[in-house]
Structure 1
Amino acid sequence: MTNPHRSAARIQVATTLRRLREDAGIPRERSVAALNCTPTKIGNIETAVSGIKQAELEKLLDLYGADDETREDLLSLNSEAHRRRPRSKIGGMIAPWLRRILDVEASATEALYSSFELVPAALQTEHYARAIMVGGGVTGEALEKNLELRAGRRALLTDREPPLRMWAVLAEPALRANIGGPGVMLDQVDHLLEMTELAHVDVQVMPQGAGAHMLTGTTLTLFRLPDKLPSLVSVDTPFGAHFVDRPDQVEKTSRWFDHTRAKALGVEESRELLMQIKKDTR
């Protein structure tokens, strides 16, 4: 019997395995042959309906040509999915935990985002993203690799079919934070206004002085996933993202997000405030 609770760890293993297989151009039939199993089992693994044993995971990672860092990260994460304590891994130009977040995001149908400090990655301009990364000490080749990934996240809103549905609630101070200087912030606000013209992108602004709300002081994203996968919440911390997967906590976060966007300015009022911030930034 499969575990009815598909944990964040299991879902991340599933979405990353599917991405690795597709990147390698390998049909599911070869995965079936590698594990000597049924096509249903591969489908269940890739949708996190069922977990995968370490030995089976190693076979698929061999088949997909996973690099050493990805291999170690997924094997460690799969231990967590089986309720064994994983080893911590930090390093590399692209942190494995970030790569897994991107796999979850790329699989998502909808992302609900709330922050007092930052514009969500998928809505960031290159110069804004660069200023954030440089401010965080990322330089050289690692900076360029991370910016390349950031461009891929923007493409989820413009190049994917169907595109990612994005609903972001941003605090007004985040839009006046002068990240990268006035010119960078002006371009960023311009970009937000342009993106809100898309039917699948909504941005609401929590005006300065609005007071506390359910998500005050927190930067998080609630991902709605396809294929009957449960929703996941990613909470940003200085050490990477922390995933919340318990259904009751995810449901509570969804209610908190509804409360927060109900308190923020409406979509059209937010556009008006964005235009005013644009004038103020000149």
Structure 2
Amino acid sequence: MTSPHRSAARIQIGTTLRRMREEAGLPRERPAEVLHCTTTKIGNIETAVSGVRRAELEKLLDLYDVDEATRDDLLNLNTEANRRRPRSKLGGMIQPWLRRILDVEATATEALYSSFELVPAVLQTEAYARALMVACGVSGETLEKNLQVRMERRALLTDREPPLRFWAVIAEPALRANIGGPEVMRDQAKHLLALTELENVVVQVMPQGAGTHPLTGTTLTLFRLPDKLPSLVSVDTPFGDHFVDAVHLVEKTSHWFDYTRAKALGVEESRELLTRITEET
């Protein structure tokens, strides 16, 4: 028997509520008291087995002393999650908000990444990330805060138990893109080499001239989630990330990723190419 469908929006709400409760140092019994329900219901909300009504969500946000911007975001997202409407061809799509994206990433047990243009955020050096953000017009305090958040994401690979399993297929042009200049790119390649020493990190390079594959021209991440939550795909676009939750599209993306990594250089060959790039840059 298949499990009931759980939308990308509902999963993000659940993972965010769980993070808020844990940051507040509260057991599930406390929100259960506030909602006059069982701890099982709180668990179901946090793992997206069931949704949450607006009145219930408001009480939980009060309990966790949530700021107004976060409160409005989650309430609006919950409205979208509960609205009946025809599904788009990309499945569950939402307007992203960084904190919720980070909550999904922090909850994931595994992430599969593919890009023709970019090194994934959790594998970026600070200088590389800074160059990307400056190019997008981010500056001042906002720039520094965003950099801090991005650098903190790297701890998922080393400080979490168990650590996030991360498998990236990065096209060679992304490693020669001259983002931030030669020194930044050289240090970024060295950083990737160092990360491949971790058991939970795999980096493969799609060599220039390899031809097309199903994920050509796309930057995306497939998240495998715990607690029997369905997998999600985050597609990076010029207008932000969109989450895909339709089961058949997620499964198709998984097959496409398998084909893509099979076509890329092997792990050791990729390390050799990364080493050559550091010497040539």
Q: Same fold (TM over 0.5)?
A: yes
CA contact (8 A) 1:98 1:240 kept: no
1:9 deviation in Å?
0.5
Q: Displacement, 1:99?
A: 1.1
Q: Which amino acid aligns with 1:224?
A: R
CA contact (8 A) 1:31 1:42 kept: yes
Equivalents in 1 of 2:57, 2:136: separation in Å?
34
Equivalent residues of 2:54, 2:75 under 8 A apart:
yes
- SS of 1:213's equivalent in the other structure is coil
1:213-224 counterparts in 2 under 5 A? 213-224=213-224
In the alignment, residue 108 of structure 1 is paired with which amino acid? A
Q: What is the match of residue 88 of structure 2?
A: none
State the alpha-carbon separation in 1 of the partners of residues 73 and 96 from structure 2: 6
- In 1, the alpha carbon distance for the partners of 2:47 and 2:152 equals 22
**Native 8 Å contact 1:193 1:271 kept in 2:** yes
Mark the runs of 5 or more structure 2 residues left unpaired by the alignment.
Answer: 86-94
Is the 2:96–2:241 contact (alpha carbons within 8 Å) kept by the matching residues of 1? Answer: no
The 3-state SS of whatever aligns with 1:169 is: strand
Q: What displacement does 1:96 show?
A: 6.4
Contact between 2:214 and 2:259, CA under 8 Å: does it hold in 1?
yes
Q: Which runs of 4+ in 1 moved over 4 A?
A: none
Work out the percentage of aligned pairs sharing the same amino acid. Answer: 77
Q: Write the distance in 2 (CA, Å) between the matches of 1:18 and 1:239.
A: 28
Residues 9-45 of structure 1: CA deviation (Å, up to 9, x unaligned): 0000001111111112222111001100001000000
> Which residue number corresponds to residue 88 of structure 1?
none
Distance in 2 of aligned mates of 1:260 and 1:192: 19
Q: Does 1:83 align with 2:83?
A: yes
Gaps of 5+ in 1: 86-94
Work out the CA distance in 2 between the residues paired with 1:83 and 1:209: 46
Q: Which residue of 2 aligns with 1:277?
A: 277
- Which AA in structure 2 matches 1:43? G
2:135 and 2:226 mapped to 1: Cα distance? Answer: 35
Q: Distance in 2 between matches of 1:259 and 1:164?
A: 22
Determine the structure 2 residue equivalent to 1:114: 114
- SS for the counterpart of 1:49 is coil
- Residue 175 of structure 1 deviates from its aligned partner by 0.1
**Could you tell me which residue of structure 2 aligns to residue 129 of structure 1?**
129
Amino acid at match of 2:74: L
Aligned residues: 270
CA distance in 2: counterparts of 1:99 and 1:180, whole angstroms: 26
Shift of 1:148: 1.1
The answer as to whether partners of 2:215 and 2:256 remain within 8 angstroms in 1 is yes
Partner residue in 2 for 1:240: 240
Cα distance, 1:190 vs structure 2: 0.4
**Relative to 1, partners in 2 of residues 1:239 and 1:84: Cα closer, same or farther, differing over 3 Å?**
farther
| Matching residue of 1:158 | 158
| Cα-Cα RMSD | 1.2
Equivalent residue, structure 1, for 2:37 = 37
Q: Which amino acid aligns with 2:131?
A: A
Residue in 2 that maps onto 1:53: 53
Normalised by the length of structure 1, the TM-score is: 0.94
Partner of 2:89: none
State the AA in 2 paired with 1:219. Answer: T
SS of the counterpart of 2:214?
Answer: coil
Amino acid at match of 1:211: G
Give the residue type in structure 1 aligned to 2:205.
Answer: V
**Equivalent position SS for 1:254:** helix
Distance across 1 between alignment mates of 2:69 and 2:190: 38
Paired position in structure 2 for 1:19: 19
Is contact 1:112-1:168 (8 Å) kept? yes
Quote the Cα distance in structure 1 between the aligned partners of 2:19 and 2:47: 12
Normalization by structure 2: what TM-score? Answer: 0.94
Does residue 6 of structure 1 match 2:17? no
Question: How far off its partner does 1:153 sit?
Answer: 0.9
